[in-house]
A and B are shown apart, each in its own frame.
Chain A
Amino acid sequence: MKPGRYMGQSVPRLEDAKLLTGRALFVDDVQLPGMLHAAFLRSDDAHGILRSIDASAARERAGVVAVYTAQDLGDYWRPGPLLVPPPPITGLVFNAATQVPLARDKVRHGGEALAMVVAESRYIAEDALEDIVVELEPLAAVTDLEAALRPGASLVHEQFGTNLAAHVHQSKGDYAGARAAAALVVARRFRYDRGASAAIENRGIVAEWDARAEQLTVWDTTQAPIPIRNGLAAMLGLGESQVRVIAPFIGGGFGPKIMMFYPEEVLLPWAAMRLGRPLKWIEDRRENFYATTQERLQIHDAELAVAQDGRILGVKDTFLHDTGAYDPYGLTVPINSQCTLLGPYVVPNYDSEFTAVFTNTPIVTPVRGAGRQHGVFVMERLLDFAARELGIDRVEIRRRNLIPPDAFPYDHEILFQDFRPLVYDSGNYPAALHKAVEMIGYEAFIRSEQPRLRRAGRRAGIGVVSYIEGTGIGPYEGARVTVEPSGLVRVATGVGTQGQGHFTTFAQLVAEQLGVEVDRVRVVTGDTREFHWGTGTFASRGAVVAGNACHAAALKVRDKIIALAARLLEAEPGQVVVEGGSACVRGAPDRSFTLGELARRANPLRGAVTPGTEPGLEATAYFGPDRGNAASGVHAMIVEVDPDTAAVEIKRYVVVHDCGVVINPVVVEAQVQGGVAHGIGNAFYEQLIFDDNGQLMNASFMDYLLPTALDVPTVEMAHLETPSPLNPLGTKGVGEAGAIPTGALFAQAVEDALSGTGVEITEIPLSPNRLFELITQAKGAAA
């Protein structure tokens, strides 16, 4: 898709005015007459047998309307759905255990919900939580991934007889043969820990049951309102059309606001129906650290076999993946790690297996990047170590291994998270690497700047890493485009939106085809009454899948406009020009109709139409790609490390990225910048720290450190565009890109700054304290 009036233009966002003036509706802004408020009692213990819950005192407190425990739910108590079944990989083992609405016999992670209090205000509901007495027999908690798999370990789910949640082996070629032929094999153990999504808006639900209309309305901070609607209808015994789920403005998603069927999501509508009053629950920040899913640790034992010239002969990787107490999201995260490790490189032989492990910690599901970081970290670090041992420059070893631009589609011969083969559709990796190296001034830094600073007693380092992100996966999304008699164009699509600019980018796509001003296009997302087919916003797929659906629907409407205008203007369809909010005959601007007038005429109230005519200027279209496409990029960074205090300062950060055809450059750049900030958080600030007993030691913003404006530099950016052949627009996803290679980059740059000290970095996140320990250890080893 070529740049046009709107396509490829940095159109300022249409949704901003509401957000800037405080008029945008977020879930917590929903106020309904007679509304009650819920609060949840959550387990202090990470693992234990639940003996009893005595809520009698809470029920008697003035202002308390109801208290529910698992016992009170009756038949409604059932484990949640398995959201993502395992892909069809031979020999795959998967033990499914999905979360429960309220713990019944056993508590499996700290913060697991035990009871729900409903009261006249949230203040009273929280008072009542303190009245509830829980009797729980503690069990040893499982937190260490290796210890969890040893015989005799305490079991998170007794029915499996093991804490193994899954085992998956994928391979291509003959790694053993490659290893035997290698000039060098570098092997390391890597730890990559990740944190919370930490959207500034916590989750929230408001549920209202209209008994006379028999309609349930649920406002939900979900990224996927349609699956939630359908699931809730099934659980509550309602027809799908009786349930309306609205995901209004959402204050950031980053993965965990997906269709989880969280306990609160399932319980609020149920209780609102029973009580006959609207009910609100807004997650507070402390709850968010337990009740919202997270990402966490993987431990990789990996090795890279290379030829003397640095060419990759093969990679072998065996890793453990922490899935938390339940695994409703299947294997998406570890399979992403497994696939993304291959990066933009030719890896002829690959042998990868992982074991997912149940632990007594909150549930792990995708968070921006979704396991891709882990894979990139392992591969990029292995290349760094191989380069050092072979005496090859770090950039050069990458250059020698990149998939060449003429090799697409490139088949990696393993299966991706969308159950389709991991085949890259398009890309130009050498160009991206070249551009990034040039922008950061790699050669000059290595040759003169770094030595000059070193002579002045300063330690600066540089890093350059590459990555691929599988984006824009199926199955499908849809959109309906309607031209109204007012001339306004309405677009409805099912995906939720959490700040990505969909109200603008989708409007651009439609405005481009219908020849109207972009601010005449009003986009509605995330309201199942407006559109009820689709899945949701995740896996960097909004612009790709829903974007192409909007585009397709706009094309259909354009055809209708042309057909109708041609008939009314007595012209050939080929002669009709659609622009400036009108359709006219080419060369005869006075022979025209405004789109609004056409819309009116397309909906006659008297007379007859040609049989088969569809009323209105409206069309619905769907788009489902054959498989995910491959966005890519190169990040480069210069840091300075103070070896005495272990403080790290980012001096420059460069990103060259390729997300195919760009709809709105400013929106894309902002997505990348935001992703980099998230990645910097992951690399140096954010870590969920559990002790051996499964106690989270930093469940607040005091101790869980989000980077601030002083910690994130302005990224210098360049776009490369290799259009994806897998969709008509040629777009690829970009939502997660910025966050993916940052850990690997940080490790490389910091290690470079500390070169000569013997510090080797094989773990993320780092922190000043951890760096101090590594520096101290290296000194000890040298002494």
Chain B
Amino acid sequence: MSHKWGMVVDLDRCTGCEACVVACHAENNIPTAGADQAALGRAKHWIRVERYWEGDFPDARIRFQPVLCQQCEQAPCEPVCPTYASYHTPEGLNAQIYNRCIGTRFCANACPYNVRFFNFFNPQWDMPLELQLNPDVSLRTVGVMEKCTFCTQRIKAAEIQAEAEKRDLKDGEFNPACAQSCASKALVFGDLNDPNSEVSRLERSNRGTKLLGELGTKPNVTYLERGTWEDAKNG
């Protein structure tokens, strides 16, 4: 049975701690842009914790919302790429093939979630910071679009391991860096084709929503709305 990787983001568990953000930087060799570039709006965070204010003092509230690539089934970023650099893998991921990318940036415009990031310069690390780079993830060069891959290198590694041991992948056997580091278990990753996996169980929750679902992009990431104390009390 082929896999369909998906994620559930429980907005009721998310504390906005941003451990996922740093985990992603460490795992995926995402360079730090530096103050000048960040000021120009070129900071790269494959996963970001969006936060929105509601109300005013003293009734002010904040809503946290981790946003990463939604790995849409009907992804607007895919058809627009003239070179097939952005395409749909058999396992339901929106892959970005760096070496095929010529940098038209069309996909980034088409993405309604703004989760595609462009290499405006060749990334650089002051030595010896480069020793921390993960050899399992390629280093994107200038003019190339990049994005969340659901840590495809981890998926590949797990699949190769399973193949070596002649077995199927177990649910929760591996996780993307973000889900792996999430203390409050707000991010749950797994195989949506496996009805018993935790992710598909949670996806069926009645709190489930899709981000910008009205655009018909059919994301493989599901958000679980915040609950309230009253709901819980009333059962």
Partners in one complex: no
